[in-house]
A = this chain, B = another copy of it.
Amino acid sequence: MEIPVVADVLKLNDEIAQLNRQRLHDAGVFSLDLMGAPGAGKTALIEATIKAIDARVGVVVGDLATQRDADRIARCTDQVVQINTGKGCHLDANQVRQAIGRLNIDQLDILFIENVGNLICPVGFDLGQDVKVGLFSIAEGDDKAAKHPYIVQASDVLLLNKLDLAPHVSFNLESFQADVSRLSAAVPLITLSVTAGQGVDQWIDWLERRLDR
């Protein structure tokens, strides 16, 4: 009985994800599922993007507990919803569906869905997003692409953050890039430091090209 039960849960998730996708497309919203380890800089990236881009941005943010990320993002946009997953290790399509219902999506161009800090579980769940974004940080070490191949392969774009820490940590960028290329030859990899403002323009360029306006 076990396998059919699990399959049904995933099938139900995918069906709701498809409804989310249709609803966002009908409203003209481009959506991103932002995945990364705890502390990779997901919230900071969203804050910097809202400030840098000429577009109306809404945010759904997932965490086990607290509304700290939503409080941060609320200083940049009033279109923000915090989801607390309790012990849940990833967002699912139904949580996102409920969150979208609390946003005025007709007033948005972009929706960021900031997933729970976790390199593993968010990868397998479709939320209805247009693209999945995988965010790594130099502070995590240069072996993280090789150790987490599925997020590399599932992502439409990869970001490597905290370049400003490069002088202070051991990180072989060529080794990291080689692992990424081996796992997903075509995926773009943008290196940046959100806090130092370095490379953010390349990320904004990538995003604006996807907006197709």
Contacts and interface: CB of A to CB of B under 8 A. Distances in A.
Interface string A115-128: 01111110110000
Interface string A94-125: 00000000000000000000001111110110
Contact of A87 (B38, B116, B124): B124
A68 interface: yes
Interface in A19-52: 37-39
Interface string A135-170: 001011101101111100000000000101100111
A90 B120 CA distance: 10
Contacts of A195: 170
Given A37-B117, A119-B118, A65 B147 contact: yes
A89 B150 CA distance: 12
Contacts of A139: 39, 137, 139-140, 162, 165
Contacts of A168: 164-165, 168
A89 B121 contact: yes
A147 B1 contact: no
A38 B144 contact: yes
Sorted nearest first, the 3 A-B pairs with minimum C-beta distance are A39-B140, A139-B139, A89-B120
Interface of A: 1-2, 5, 37-39, 63-66, 68, 87, 89, 116-121, 123-124, 137, 139-141, 143-144, 146-150, 162, 164-165, 168-170, 195
9 contacts: A1-B1, A37-B39, A37-B117, A65-B148, A68-B147, A87-B123, A117-B119, A139-B139, A165-B168
Given A68-B147, A118-B120, 18 more contacts: A1-B5, A38-B119, A38-B140, A64-B120, A65-B146, A68-B146, A87-B150, A89-B118, A89-B120, A89-B121, A117-B147, A118-B119, A118-B121, A139-B139, A139-B140, A165-B165, A165-B169, A170-B195
